[in-house]
Amino acid sequence: MSKNREFQWRRLHSLLGIIPVGLFLVFHLSLNFTATGGEENYNNSIGIMEYVPHWLLLIVEWVVIYIPILFHGLYGVYIAFTATHNVKRFGTFRNWMFAIQRFTGVFLVIFIAWHIFQTRIQKALGTDVDFNMMEEIVANPLMLAFYIVGILSATFHLSNGIWSFLVSWGITQSPKSQKIASYVTMVFFVVLSIVGVAAILAFV
């Protein structure tokens, strides 16, 4: 019963990493990508959120974003420090992906917490979250590097997480299907990374 319960928790962890956390990441990076069109374009894009009633926005943020991310992050840290590699089942490449997945997961807990502090919490304290805010943040080269590493960690973690999700949910069972999924998720990683990095560099 204990092993079955843990298996179900891991499946839930995997599912939440895709829906809604993964979908939110894609939306968030896509919204930030509008910064490549200039300050006015970006401010107009994020300004759409102002039309959503504040109470509804809070509910959506907590139910769709914060609670799933909190569970996924904390349980992910638990997995990172308790899981063991499985060389016989997945081979060297997959074990490297496994190790990087765990490392990026732990790093993302720190990065996301800091990003929320610099943006969402500052907004709650009365600071405008706009192009100028992000421009000031990444004006520091160390902070820019921190954000780029954070973005790449997030895009890798999601992309490789999709592969793990397909396996853990029994969608890709054969070695061939898992290999195809590896190629597809790697392409997804590259495309999403370009979008994310281009977006943050637009503020420089």
pLDDT tens digits, residue range 140-192?
999 999 999 999 999 999 999 999 999 989 999 999 999 999 999 999 999 99
pLDDT, tens only, 26-70: 999 999 999 999 999 999 999 888 888 888 888 989 998 999 999
Rounded-to-integer distance, Cα 28 and Cα 119, Å: 13
Annotated binding site for heme: 28, 72, 115, 157
Q: 93: which 2 tokens? A: 């490449």
Q: What is the mean pLDDT of the chain?
A: 91
CATH 1.20.1300.10 fits 3-202, yes or no: yes
Q: 150: which 2 tokens? A: 């954070």
Of 144, 148, 125, 127, the residue nearest 135 (C-alpha): 144
Radius of gyration of the chain measured on its C-alpha atoms? 18
**7 membership: H or E segment, kind and range:** helix 2-18
Least confident of 44-53, 81-90, 142-151, 193-202: 81-90
% of the chain at pLDDT higher than 70: 95
Residue 87 has pLDDT above 50, yes or no: no
Domains of the chain, residue spans: 3-202
pLDDT of residue 81: 85
Least confident of 19-33, 77-91, 136-150: 77-91
Of 187, 9, 160, 3, the residue nearest 90 (C-alpha): 160
Annotated binding site: 28, 72, 115, 157
